[in-house]
Structure 1
Amino acid sequence: MALQERFLHNRWYHSTTQALFAEVCARQPDKPAIIFEDEEIPYRTLGDRVNQLSQGLLGLGVGKGDVVSMLPSPTPEFACLYFATLQVGAIINPLNLLWGVKEFQGVLPRNNPRVIVTVDHCGNRDYIQTLKSSIPDLQVDGERVSSGAVPGLSHLVCMSRQGLRHDGFLDFSELMGRGADWQQDTFDRLIRESRPTDIQFMCQTSGTTGLSKSALWDHRPPLATAHFGAKNLCYQESDAYINMSPFYHNSGLFGLNLNLTLAGSTLHLMEQFRPEQALKIIDRYKVTATFGFDSHWQGLLGAPGFSGYDFTISKAVLAGEPRSYDLVKDMCPEGATINNLYAQTENGPLVSLAEHDCMDYRIRKYTHGRPLAGVEVVIKDLETGGRVVQGQPGEICYRSPFLFRGYYRQEEETRQSFDEEGYFHSGDYGTFDNGYITFLGRLGGVLKTGGENVSTVRVTNLLLEIFQEAFDDAKTIGVPDEYWGSKIVAFVRPRTGYDLGSTRDIREACKGVMAIYEIPQEFLEWNGNWPVTPEGKIDFRKLDEEARSRLGLTD
């Protein structure tokens, strides 16, 4: 069934991920599914590799309801693991490569995986040692392992790009080899037995308010994101997509599902995001689509020789600030489809998305689109919990036909996330005005200054509007202050040829446009790129440290 027919029949709602993937492989066996380091992997070959790995997992005793945790790189091996885990009926659980031992020690006993599949090294981190430190009572008996802390654990598997072997870890290629005698009938039966309401995804929240929670999905949350994302991008089978996100992030899983599960298009992978490498891939293969955070787009634009590449991206999904909309529009060919979004892990993750045919420039730039079909959104007061007047800010709350199914083994946290009306409380600050969501930051990014709630995202957006000619970019944070509670601090990167000027003069220029309590008390000059996390998001912890240092603040 072609993509347009899948749209028409809402196959995302009535099918499983593994069933749709198998259909795509059967329909176009010779088409490139993945291109990685100049290797083209046709759908037939990818499907065979998934079946072979599935058989290997069955040989380890992995079956329905078991958890397979992965510390993945965005490579073909982990794409195969994703589909193979689902195909045998198990639950895929991507874990964040940025975590330290304390995070793994908190999450692994709760998730209780049967198998953990990991890279051995990424950057300068040793994940073999990290896992061993995170499971201090780990016992190794041949290829099997055991742990009192993680009682379900039976195997550790390592995917080493350098071909290294590690004690206590089964080699990924060996696991693949064990599945060489796979039988198609086995997987046809398993796919027939699967249901779209089966829980097969355990996705970690960002952990901004403490230890990461493990959100449970059936097939509808991730497939809804792929379905509505494809529709709003006017996606086609002929499109080609470059993945710039890690596979432990939901945006990386979006690339897998959009291309390999739903559309049957070609997915370009890179082991790590490197702007110049990405530009070469886009130019050589005439890639048409991608998703990116602010830092991805700025990295591409700032790469040496950007203007010399044929930048063919004409379908882009953004998770960033209004400034990013104009930046991406200028980078892409004229008439490109550029859609802002608002997303959360708990809704699989897409909540709202801009519309490609919206003709209002300000709506496209400054809002995060309309809720997906069936998603009900209200804004509730931070103090009273009641609904606010339309257009006023508060906590974004929603009900959805493809909401997560709760936090695994965290019944109380799940219960507290919903109110008596059945709305999920997102922990995000924003507005819902005339049908459009505007995300204004996490509630942790809402400062209480002088008794008023102030969104750091809103302050940044207003500064960039007021000083369009002088400010190249800005980021706003809050630092502790005995008088104000929180003092608003703006880092500003001036445009070439402009001096930042004094804080007093800048504040004076803001008066009458911004509320008095929104105007930053301090403006600090920033030169060069913003600090970013390996995920590609702005590293606000480093900005906070820099502000405290410059302002002479001590903990």
Structure 2
Amino acid sequence: MNTISSSDIDRRRDALERTLGSWVPRSLAAAFDVAVARHPDRPYVVTDAGTLTYAQVAERSRRLATGLIELGVRKGDRVAMLMDNRLDYPIVKFAIARVGAVAVALNYLYRGDEIVTRLQQSGARVLISIDSSAATDFLAVFDERFGRWESGVNSDDVPTLRQIVLAESGWRSGALTVPGLSRELDDQLVDEATQAVLADDVADIVFTSGTTGHALGAELTHDMLLRSAYGSAYHRAFDDGWRIGFALPLYHVFGYVEGMLAAVFAGGAIVPQRVFNPRTTLELIQQHGINEVLFVPTMTVAVVDQAVKDDYDLSSLQSVFSAAAPAPVWLWNRVMTDLNPQMIFTGYGQTEVSAATALTLPGDSIELVSSVVGTPKLGGLAAVGTGIPNGRLAEYRTIDPFDGHVLPQGESGELVVRGPQVTREYIGESAQAAAAIDEDGWLRTGDLGWVDDDGYLHLSGRSKELFKVGGELVAPLEVEQVLTAYDGVNQAYVAGIPDERYGEIGWAWVVAAEDAVLDERALLAHARTHLAPFKVPRGMTVVMVEELPMTTTGKVQKYQLVQWIVEGRPA
């Protein structure tokens, strides 16, 4: 195998440390400006719509920041983003950071109700949006829910919302737009706003489904995000000018932190795709000299399958990082054979911990990478003074999932984590935060597993019912509520079942109301109108209530329902 040498890893990490010098807590915008000063003319974001250098992103973000301030956005205000992986995504992100506002990145696969709910939860003052996605016509949603929104929003549904700004001109007459807000630049105004932003201020609110299945907004500070990003660059041994390609959405911490922010510390560039296509991925590696790709396993499968169908120049590719779901030995073997990288990584983390807190190490064997989810992330200078041992950015242990007492090293239980990347609060959810985060900063992950004697994390399951479809987290309760709202449905139960391509897919077991005859296709069509595509069950079984496996207390045993499907039983 074409593996990287330990001396080359050391050289790259030493170069990152020399460039950084020491860890100085900064805001996102201030950290980006340091990189701009070092290499203003290097490309930072490369898409099919064009290329922007560090200096261009900085200048355009300052112009937009001027417009946001003049619009009335102030430090601490929430600015929601409903945007795909566009060329100007980093511009909008850094503009919000410069003002000291809090970015609230939303999933662009959301339907109307989901968008309104997240805006309510976050208390968003401004929404910056594209016109539509493959799932939703956003302008139609705005028309229906916010009336004459082009001249300002006054809504009982989202009382905090004042303005909707469109990412491009020409989509709607009279609407505010990012280009329109970016016409003027007031350096003094922007500098004063940026200098007032502290490293420990909240930079982002990112929504996740917590262990209760209720969508939670985790608060992530500027310093949390930057330490995580630098640690990833250090741990994964970025070389100078490192280029990262991905189709992972930038509203996810995976693409945002592991790609967009981590690249900054190596003076590198990101090559984001709006829509995943394995052929396009390979062509972009060849065209732009991409050094690392970020995948979930479903993407990895598609790319290695495509790689053998044509002749691609992948000589620039040095690293493949595939995470968010398990990848078997055979897949990693295909990666090494068909893509020929020097390094492979898998990792573990969640929204609340600012992306990855654990990663495998360069040079780890395929067998190890397939059986663990990593060891706590190395931090280099970002780990200094954090109180976390051994130069790491996170510390893991296990607790009894029922009474919370700490278990001995190596014993299976619920994984808990602490470190400088870990959130301290969920918005409007003080009770949830108190239940999930103890007084010493240990966060309950909701995952079951253990830490072995070498410090590697092993997963054995989830303590709750959440499941992941291609890396996207699904809360069964939300899906069940949509299904039971359909006329003729008495009860609905949703769980994840194993799937080779997606890791897991949703399956629904539905009990019809008395005398009702359910049309399964119509019911799934109903679900598609109310849920993001990854949340819609891929299959459905209509059952009699008497067939449901119950506990003695009357609770449905979902694991038995899953076993029916796995074993091919008809019910």
User: How many Å separate the matches in 1 of 2:366 and 2:205?
Assistant: 37
Q: Which residue of structure 1 aligns with residue 262 of structure 2?
A: 258
Quick check: 1:318 aligned with 2:322?
A: yes
Normalised by the length of structure 1, the TM-score is 0.76
Provide, for residues 449-503 of structure 1, a one-character-per-residue CA deviation record: whole Å limited to 9, x for no partner. xxxxxxx9xxxxxxxxxxxxxxxxxxxxxxxxxxxx999976679xxxxxxxxxx
Aligned residue identity for 2:538: K
User: How many Å separate the matches in 2 of 1:291 and 1:227?
Assistant: 16
SS at 1:19 equivalent: helix
Change (3 A) 1:537 1:208: farther
SS at 2:182 equivalent: helix
Q: Which residue of structure 2 aligns with residue 391 of structure 1?
A: 410
Aligned residues of 1:279 and 1:306 also touching (Cα < 8 A): no
SS at 1:444 equivalent: coil
Q: Which residue of structure 1 aligns with residue 460 of structure 2?
A: 440
Q: Which residue of structure 2 aligns with residue 430 of structure 1?
A: 449
Q: Which residue of structure 2 aligns with residue 87 of structure 1?
A: 98
In the TM superposition, what is the alpha-carbon distance from 1:398 to its structure 2 partner? 1.5
**Cα RMSD between the aligned structures?**
3.3
> Is the deviation greater in 185-194 or in 540-549?
540-549
Where does 1:338-349 land on structure 2 (aligned, <5 Å)? 338-349=344-355
Q: Which residue of structure 1 aligns with residue 284 of structure 2?
A: 281
From 130, 149, 152, the equivalent of 1:144 is 152
Where does 1:238-249 land on structure 2 (aligned, <5 Å)? 238-249=241-252
Q: Which residue of structure 2 aligns with residue 520 of structure 1?
A: none
Change (3 A) 1:128 1:418: same
> Is the deviation greater in 416-425 or in 279-288?
416-425
From 16, 21, 25, the equivalent of 2:36 is 25
Q: Identity across aligned pairs (percent)?
A: 23
User: How many Å separate the matches in 1 of 2:149 and 2:113?
Assistant: 26
Aligned residue identity for 1:16: S
Change (3 A) 1:207 1:215: same
In the TM superposition, what is the alpha-carbon distance from 1:309 to its structure 2 partner? 0.9
Where does 1:230-379 land on structure 2 (aligned, <5 Å)? 230-254=233-257, 255-259=259-263, 261-303=264-306, 306-311=309-314, 312-319=316-323, 320-323=325-328, 324-333=331-340, 336-358=342-364, 361-372=366-377, 373-379=392-398
User: How many Å separate the matches in 2 of 1:227 and 1:331?
Assistant: 29
User: How many Å separate the matches in 1 of 2:497 and 2:214?
Assistant: 28
SS at 2:425 equivalent: coil
Aligned residue identity for 2:177: D
Provide, for residues 396-416 of structure 1, a one-character-per-residue CA deviation record: whole Å limited to 9, x for no partner. 111222311200111111111
Provide, for residues 146-192 of structure 1, a one-character-per-residue CA deviation record: whole Å limited to 9, x for no partner. 222322211101225xx542367423322223xx2x13333333333
User: How many Å separate the matches in 1 of 2:496 and 2:307?
Assistant: 35
Aligned residues of 2:202 and 2:222 also touching (Cα < 8 A): yes
Aligned residues of 1:242 and 1:289 also touching (Cα < 8 A): yes
Change (3 A) 1:423 1:139: same
From 520, 533, 538, the equivalent of 1:542 is 538
User: How many Å separate the matches in 2 of 1:540 and 1:340?
Assistant: 27
Change (3 A) 1:168 1:212: farther
Q: Which residue of structure 2 aligns with residue 111 of structure 1?
A: 122
Aligned residues of 2:426 and 2:432 also touching (Cα < 8 A): yes
Aligned residues of 1:341 and 1:369 also touching (Cα < 8 A): yes
User: How many Å separate the matches in 1 of 2:127 and 2:497?
Assistant: 43
SS at 1:195 equivalent: coil
Q: Which residue of structure 1 aligns with residue 64 of structure 2?
A: 53
Change (3 A) 1:80 1:388: same
Aligned residues of 2:103 and 2:204 also touching (Cα < 8 A): yes
Aligned residue identity for 1:325: W
Aligned residues of 1:432 and 1:438 also touching (Cα < 8 A): yes
Aligned residue identity for 1:15: R
Q: Which residue of structure 2 aligns with residue 210 of structure 1?
A: 213
Aligned residues of 1:106 and 1:211 also touching (Cα < 8 A): no
Change (3 A) 1:236 1:184: farther
Change (3 A) 1:298 1:149: same
SS at 2:103 equivalent: strand
Provide, for residues 71-109 of structure 1, a one-character-per-residue CA deviation record: whole Å limited to 9, x for no partner. 111112222100000011100010112223333333221
Q: What 5-or-longer segments of structure 1 have no aligned partner? A: 448-455, 457-484, 494-535
Q: Which residue of structure 2 aligns with residue 552 of structure 1?
A: 570
Where does 1:160-239 land on structure 2 (aligned, <5 Å)? 160=168, 164-166=170-172, 169-177=175-183, 180=184, 182-206=185-209, 209-239=212-242
Quick check: 1:409 aligned with 2:409?
A: no
In the TM superposition, what is the alpha-carbon distance from 1:58 to its structure 2 partner? 1.2
Aligned residues of 2:397 and 2:409 also touching (Cα < 8 A): no
Where does 1:440-519 land on structure 2 (aligned, <5 Å)? 440-444=460-464
Aligned residues of 2:142 and 2:149 also touching (Cα < 8 A): no
Aligned residues of 1:300 and 1:306 also touching (Cα < 8 A): no
Change (3 A) 1:119 1:403: same
User: How many Å separate the matches in 2 of 1:551 and 1:79?
Assistant: 49
SS at 1:412 equivalent: helix
Normalised by the length of structure 2, the TM-score is 0.74
SS at 1:252 equivalent: helix
Aligned residues of 2:41 and 2:54 also touching (Cα < 8 A): yes
Q: Which residue of structure 2 aligns with residue 97 of structure 1?
A: 108
> Is the deviation greater in 336-345 or in 263-272?
263-272
Q: What 5-or-longer segments of structure 2 have no aligned partner? A: 1-13, 378-391, 470-492, 502-531, 543-561
Provide, for residues 247-278 of structure 1, a one-character-per-residue CA deviation record: whole Å limited to 9, x for no partner. 2111121211012x322212112222222111
In the TM superposition, what is the alpha-carbon distance from 1:201 to its structure 2 partner? 1.0
Aligned residue identity for 2:281: A
Aligned residue identity for 2:372: T
Aligned residues of 1:221 and 1:349 also touching (Cα < 8 A): no
Aligned residue identity for 1:98: L
Aligned residues of 2:419 and 2:441 also touching (Cα < 8 A): no
SS at 1:165 equivalent: coil
User: How many Å separate the matches in 2 of 1:89 and 1:488?
Assistant: 40
User: How many Å separate the matches in 1 of 2:78 and 2:15?
Assistant: 32
Change (3 A) 1:490 1:342: closer
